[in-house]
Structure 1
Amino acid sequence: MTTNPFEDENGTYLVLTNAEGQYSLWPEGIAVPDGWDVALSASSRAECLAHVEANWTDICPAGADA
């Protein structure tokens, strides 16, 4: 059975950000998509989630109208 790499509790992840200030957990070993930058290098899922929670304070995209 294949595990979805985006849902692996024991996996190693990156935290990505885009130009809109959005964040994403991304499995290590999968190419970072165009338009996204690494904000936190390879870490545990828990560490990545903590980083996102501490840094992504406004979930609205930067380009969204208020």
Structure 2
Amino acid sequence: MTNPFEDQESTYLVLMNEEGQYSIWPADIDVPPGWSIVFTENTRESCIEYIYSHWTDLKPHSLRK
């Protein structure tokens, strides 16, 4: 069995939680509670590029105030 988060042939989503933290997520697995889709189904590489270009401040929202 392969790790679903590292399968280069699968498609993925980019999720974000209320704290502004991002995650790559396999497109064929239900999105967990507390997370929203911010980048729709795409290649793993494209999702990782999206995260790198959008998650520029790693501090959670609650620590930025």
Q: TM-score, normalised by structure 1?
A: 0.90
Q: Kindly tell me: are residues 42 and 65 of structure 1, through their superposed partners in 2, closer, same or farther at Cα, counting changes over 3 Å?
A: closer
More helix by share: 2
Q: CA RMSD in A?
A: 1.4
- Would you identify which runs of 4 or more consecutive aligned residues in structure 1 move more than 4 Å? none
Q: Kindly tell me: are residues 65 and 38 of structure 1, through their superposed partners in 2, closer, same or farther at Cα, counting changes over 3 Å?
A: closer
Is residue 2:15 matched to residue 1:16?
Answer: yes
Cross-structure match for 2:58: 59
Matches within 5 A, 1:1-66: 2-64=1-63
User: How many residues are paired up?
Assistant: 65
> Matched residue of 2:37: which SS?
strand
Fraction of identical pairs, as percent: 46
The Cα shift of 1:8 comes to 1.1
Query: In the TM superposition, what whole-angstrom CA distance separates every residue of 1:14-57 from its partner, at most 9, and x where no partner exists?
Result: 00001100000000110100110000110000100111011000
Q: TM-score, normalised by structure 2?
A: 0.92
Distance, in Å, in 2 between the alignment partners of 1:3 and 1:19 is: 30
> Where in structure 1 are there 5+ consecutive unaligned residues?
none
